[in-house]
Amino acid sequence: MDGKEKNNSLGEGAKSALLNEGETWGEFFRSIFYAFLIAISVRTFILQPFSIPSESMLKNLMVGDFLLVNKMSYGYSKHSLPFSLPIIPDRIFSDDVERGDVVVFRLPRDPDIYYIKRIVGVPGDKIQMINGELHLNGAKLPRIQIEDYVRTNEYGREERFEQFEEVMPSGKTYVTLNREYVRRADDTQVFIVPEGHYFAMGDHRDNSLDSRWPSSEGVGFVPFENIIGKATWLTLSFDNHSALWEFWKWFPEERRDRFFTTIN
């Protein structure tokens, strides 16, 4: 093989290497693109992750909980899509929301804000709070007081809450908390849930801005189309309560007993 042939051979080898490299990068970017499409599809139509920023659902859901919402539970509306794109008329593949379900929904007065509450009233129900107890269609829901929920807050003080097991007519039970009498929340008018809407309340009854407040300042009745899905699973949970000066607590403590558990 002479020098010219050697150069030609090297040149072809270099071209082949460049071609293979180009194919490898192309496959890489295609894989990234497909992974992105799959992630968006899962988030849009199957499971959407959320984190808990407030104590309105204490103690069932705590600040620092990370959860997954099943978006297939009740079908899909425009609010199921990113930016509430108006390409789904009304609701498709619809299924009923049941009393006692914990749901994530878009706030009626500002759809960019997500709320999580428990549904206590379905269309046609009459809802009223009397002396801190929930009445459904004229009957007080049974509830059993259990041992107090006690915790230490970020200031090192003990906090104590009355704790009740409340029972829906279906037999579904869940825990609610009571700390103090709040007139506007604990003694209300009778709310009649209109067609196509639901009545939502927080489990921490004295610390929840929910359907007991009108939509202009709270939640009001929740339109069915605003409901994103059913909160089903906790994935991770971290206790990040710490004062600014407590640098040794800046890294949140794991609540491992809450990892990968179902939401009641």
Catalytic residue, candidates 73, 78, 80, 117: 117
Tell the burial category of 103 from Cβ atoms under 10 Å away from its Cβ (0-12, 13-18, 19+): buried
Question: Beta partners for 134?
Answer: 129
Catalytic residue, candidates 56, 77, 80, 208: 56
Phi, psi of 204 (to 5 degrees): -90, 85
Question: Beta partners for 74?
Answer: none
Residue located via tokens 């004295």: 206
- 56 given a catalytic annotation: yes
Q: Which residues are catalytic?
A: 56, 117
